[in-house]
Structure formats: structure tokens, C-alpha cells
Amino acid sequence: MALSLGTALGALSLAWVEGAGSALPTRVLPNETVTFTLVLSRKRPSALADAVAAVSSPASPRFRQYLSDDELAALLEPSGLREVEEWLARDAPSAAIARRAHGSGQVLEVRARAAEVSRLLGVSLARFGRLVRSAAQPAAPPPLPRRVATHVSAVLGIYHLPPPTPTRPTLRTASECDFKGDVVDPDVLARQYGWTGAKASGRVSQGVAAFEDAEFMPSDVAAFEAAYHLPNVTFSVKGPNDGGYFGEASLDTQYIAASGAGVPSWFLSQEAFDLATWCEMVLTVRPLPTVWSISWGGGESEYPVAEQRAADDCFARAALKGVTVLAASGDDGTGSHGGWFGCKAFDPTYPASCPHVTSVGATYLTSGSETGWSYSGGGYSAVWPRPAWQDAAVAAYEARATMPPSSLYNSSGRVTPDVAALGTCYRVFSGGAASGTLSGTSAATPTFAGMVSRVNDILVSGGKPTVGFINPILYRGGTSVGTDIVEGNNKKRACKAGFEATAGFDAVSGLGTPTWDRLFELLKG
């Protein structure tokens, strides 16, 4: 997963991150063509979030009245488009400029000679494509001209930045895994969550995210489906599928195919862990997948705020098209600043903490009973304030739980996870046969995602819209999405304390784990 850099420039926050799917070369010659992206500020900064709230709230007269491309473009009208384009035309006359983000004009992709871009942005050729910063010592980007800077919220694609070590689950060769819990397969999940064997009609689709070197084998999905008598689903692929890392991709594709039985599915891949550009890529898929499952992420502190905002901005636009985005809450408990050598503060997981994402935590199973997994990511965001739809649930949680020291977390932040599902000891097929188990919130996420796809399939078959951004309607339910998880604590070893699972909402399992009848009742609207 790729790190990126955010730095303040006056009142303007600029993100200088790796380009979508490909890194700049280590040496750039003056006549080489390079690409960078300008993300433009909007005339009405709050309009996007306001629109999502309107289409996601059951009490709103606009509930689930999703936007057309033209309506979305009007909502996202950028400020200063003419000024930015005039600046580019004057100072980079050979540049090829393309507007992106579905006609909204919010993003300008610029291709030009490296020497010209160097003059335009004040970046020396020697610095193109080099490792110019570290997480501890970010390099300040050169300022844009004042007349342009007020109209640009981010600049993407100039520097190639070092990725952190990704969290990649290791396939266990034994029939049991290293963590607590019974071995889980599609039959166990069907019994636990009460879904039927009915095949979807195929009127909606779903997708799993993939990054870096993730690869899955269609033959493994087919063997998995045959072994558990699941409907055959052939995954469509957008992006690379040849990196050789099979663990995460195998887990995601097999279990979203199990929980979303018969729903047409996508493997949505790019090399760079850049969620804003990944989201833009997925929004070009037709027909648009209406459930996205993201099993990748890292601590909020590893990613600049500007990058996190750019990604959530795109997730909000997806919500306005009727899309549900789910993300794994992480496998590091509370997370921490200071690692094994001390715990200065908790560090929740991005993108799970984004306010337009449904964050999925993990439980483990013992003889039919679920307990909050100690590694299940959860806590209070240091980036995002708490959304109004979460206020009552969090207040009730804090009133009944023993909370960690307040110095370790932002008590006014958005809390994760929102929901949970079984996350340990998932049996995975490799080489055409069951070959071991994998564990993590990256198992829980596609499992929950497929169940949302089943709801969408039923609703769309009945002439109703998809569920879209589901958090407001889930929290309106007031209790759980099925089974309330009341035991568990996600204390990280180096930290003084963690969050505890309690009756009702908590920062280990959220609103609990789903049962089919309860989830459908909540989401049908």
C-alpha cells in the first residue's frame, strides 16, 4: 500500500502522491512525457456531503433519489476552472489537458514534457520520481502561483513515494489457524447468518478492490464454488491480475462470491494504493458495481489528510450514484503511534475511518457463539469529526463502557467499526483445492459486502433503488444488525488499554454481526 504526502501551504492543503497505477521512473529526461493531476476546489464545498445526507436519510424526501451525471456535475462545479486552464495554456503550451470525474470538471489530468512541467511547478528534474520524503520528514512541495492556488485542492502524481510494508495475510497450511475460533467456510457462514441458497437475479453487480501485486485465479474461485455448491460467478477484471500475490485476492473473490451468491462480480485492481484514483477508475465501470469491498488500508497517520479527503470525496460521489462502500477496520486493534516501543496515541485505520464508508470489524466463532476479535480495528478517528448519524450510539457506548485514557484518542472523532462479521480461520482454495486458512477484517468485509449485494438484488428486482450509503439507516435501527457482540477488547500490546465490546454499539464490533432477516429489514427502507 502506497504512502503519500500531505503538507499545508497557507490555507491550502496539497497532496503530492503517486500517480494512478504506475510510478514515475527514477530518472526523468527533459523531453519525456509525464502526467500529473490537479484536483480543483468546488464553488460549494459542503454541497456534496449535504447531498449524500439527503439521499441516505430515511426521513428525507430525497431518500434514495440518486443523481444523474449532469446533476452530479452541477453539484461539483469547480471554482476557478478558467483561471487554472489559462495558466496551463500559457505556461505549458504543449500540455494535453483532460477533464475527469465524469464531466464535473473537478479534476484536470495534465500530460506534458518533463522540462515544461518542471518550470510550471518549480520542481527540479532531478527530483522527479525520486524518494523525496519519509513519513517522519515530509518534503514541502513548491507553491503554486497565488492566483491558481486558491482554486486547487490537491496536486497528484509528481513524486514517487515509498510504500509502507503492507499487511498481507499468510495462508496457513494446517486445517486450523493461528488465531482463536472455529474454521469458517461458506456453509458455516450460511448457518451463522441465516442466508438462503437462493441465487441472485444478476441485476446488480459487486466488486473487490485489489492493489500492489494482488492476483486471483478464476479456477480457484470455480473450484471453491463447486465444493460448496455455490452459483458459478465469472469475475470480470479491470486492471492488472498478474502480480503473483494470491492470499488477499483469493480470500476476497471467494467469499464475496459466497455471501453474494450469483451476483455478477468484478476484480477492480490497480498497482498503486491510491484510493482516490482507484475510486475514479471504478466509477467508469458500466454497469456500475453497487457494492465495493475494500480489504486494504493502514493507520491514518500514514496518509496525509488531503489524500484521505480526496478519497472520501470520491466515495461520497459514489454514494450519490447508489453505491455502498465497505472497508476493513484493520487488524491492529486500536493501532498506535510508537509501535512496540510505547503507545503515544491510538491510530485507527484508513480508509475505514472515512465518513462515507461502512467500516467492518471482525469476530471469531466458538461453537456458534461470536466474540469480538482482539485484533479487530476500532477507535476514534483523528482526522474526521463524528457524523451526526453516529452521535447517539457513541454517547450510549461511552456511558456504559470503561473507556481508555482520553489522552490516547480524539473523543470527538468518527468511530469505527460500524458493523462486524466473522473474521478468523477462513478456509481458502489455492491450486484448485482447500489449502489453508486466512484471518482478518479483510475476511469479514467481503462477507458483509456480499450480503448487502443480495439485498440490492432483491430491491432492484422489485423496481426499487439500491441501498447506497447505508450508515444513516443502520444507526437509525438503534440496536444491532443481527447479533449483538458483548465480549472482546481490541487492546494493542503496547497500549495502556483498548476499547471493549459491550451491549449495543461498541468500538470493537460496531452494531454487531448480521443476520439475514434483520439486515434485510433494516436496509429495505
Going by the annotation, the residues of the binding site for Ca(2+) are 484-485, 504, 506
Beta bridge partners of 371: 364
> Which entry of 442, 453, 480, 509 is annotated as an active-site residue?
442
Per DSSP (E only), the strands in 106-161 are 107-113, 152-156
The neighbouring-strand residues paired with 34 are 112
Neighbours of 395 (CB within 10 A): 11
Q: How far apart are CA 111 and CA 36, in angstroms?
A: 7
CA angle 4, 111, 25 (to 5 degrees): 55
> Do residues 197 and 279 lie in contact, with contact meaning Cβ atoms separated by under 8 Å?
no
- The Cα 506–Cα 492 span in angstroms is 16
> Cis omega before residue 417 (within 30°)?
yes
Annotated binding-site positions: 484-485, 504, 506
CB atoms within 10 A of CB 363: 28
Residues 6+ apart with CB under 8 A from 255: 186, 189, 426, 443, 446, 447, 450
Q: Is residue 259 flagged as an active site residue? A: no
Q: Which residues contact 188 (CB under 8 A, 6 or more apart)?
A: 182, 365, 422
Q: Are 486 and 19 in contact (CB under 8 A)?
A: no
| Phi, psi for residue 363 in degrees, rounded to 5 | -125, 170
HEC string of 281-309? HHCCCCCCCCEEEECCCEEHHHCCHHHHH
> Phi, psi (5° rounding) for residue 396?
-65, -40
**Cα angle 330-334-335, degrees, rounded to a multiple of 5:** 70
Distance between CA atoms of residues 289 and 303, nearest Å = 27
User: What per-residue string of b and e applies to 440-454 under the rule 16 or more CB within 10 Å gives b?
Assistant: bbbbbbbbbbbbbbb
Name residue 197's amino acid: G
The one catalytic residue among 182, 220, 225, 252: 252
Q: How far apart are CA 328 and CA 318, in angstroms?
A: 18
Q: What is the dihedral of CA 353, 298, 307, 47, to 10 degrees?
A: -10
Q: Cα 263–266–267 angle (5° rounding)?
A: 140
Q: Is 442 a catalytic residue?
A: yes
Which residue type is seen at 204?
A: V
Active-site option among 109, 215, 248, 313: 248
For residue 50, indicate whether it is catalytic.
no
Whole-number Å distance between alpha carbons of 68 and 72: 6
- CB 184, CB 64: distance < 8 Å: no
DSSP per position, 51-109: HHHHHH-TTSTTTT-PPPHHHHHHHTPBSSHHHHHHHHHHH-TT-EEEEETTTT--EEE
Catalytic residues: 248, 252, 442
